[in-house]
Structure 1
C-alpha cells in the first residue's frame, strides 16, 4: 500500500526494494535529476553498480519499476558480455576485482567450462597430461 501511495516519490518507494528484488537494497538517484536512478546497491551494501544508462523513475510506480527491472537487465547483460570478453586480458586474481560479483562468477564459470572442454579435446588428441596441466593452471 505504501508503494502505491508514494509511487510518484521514488526515494520513498526505494525503501521497499528488498521486498521486490532479490539482492537489491537501494537505488542511487541523480543529484540533479532526483527521479532518475543512476545505479543500484546490493543487499549486503557492499557493491554499487552503475546503470548502463539512467533510469527514469517518474510516472506510475508500476511503470517505472518495470523500467528499473529493464535497466538492471540491460546493465547486467552488458557487464556479463564485457567481463567474459575481458577474462583473458589479465590474470584471474586481478581480473576478478574489475567486475561486480554476479558477472565475475558467471564469466568464471563460462571460461572454466570452455577451458575444461579444451583440456578434454587435448586429451582425446593424445596429450595424456591435459587435465593435470589444466589443474595446475587453476
Structure 2
C-alpha cells in the first residue's frame, strides 16, 4: 500500500483513496461505466487506472476539469495530461493513479479493459 503525503495538506492518502476521489469526481459529472482497475501486479508505473465513458467530447472535458478541480481541492495535482484538446481520450496522470476518460466510441475501440484483461476491475458506485 502506498501512502501519498502532500506537503501542502500534510494528508496521508492511499492510492485507492485517490482512485475513489477521481471516480467520485467523474461520477459527479455523469461519467458512465466508471471502473477502477488494479494495476499493482501488471505494471510498476501506476497502482490504478480509473476508466470512465462520456457521451461527447464536451462531456469528457467537463469530467476531466472536475477531476482536476476536485483533486486540486484535495491537494493532489496531475503530473501529465494528454488528449484534452480532442476530447476523445483524455488521460490525467496522478502518478499512482491514472484517469482515462473516453468517449463511448473511443472506449470501445481501444478496449483498455481487454488490453489489460488480467487487472482486477471494481465498478465504481457512489458511496
Q: Compare the two structures and name the one with the higher helix fraction.
A: 1
Q: Compare the two structures and name the one with the higher strand fraction.
A: 2
Q: Which has the larger radius of gyration?
A: 1
Q: TM-score interval w.r.t. the shorter chain?
A: under 0.3
Normalising by structure 1, report the TM-score: 0.26
Flag the structure with more relative contact order, 1 or 2, with Cα contacts below 8 A and sequence separation at least 6. 2
Normalising by structure 2, report the TM-score: 0.28
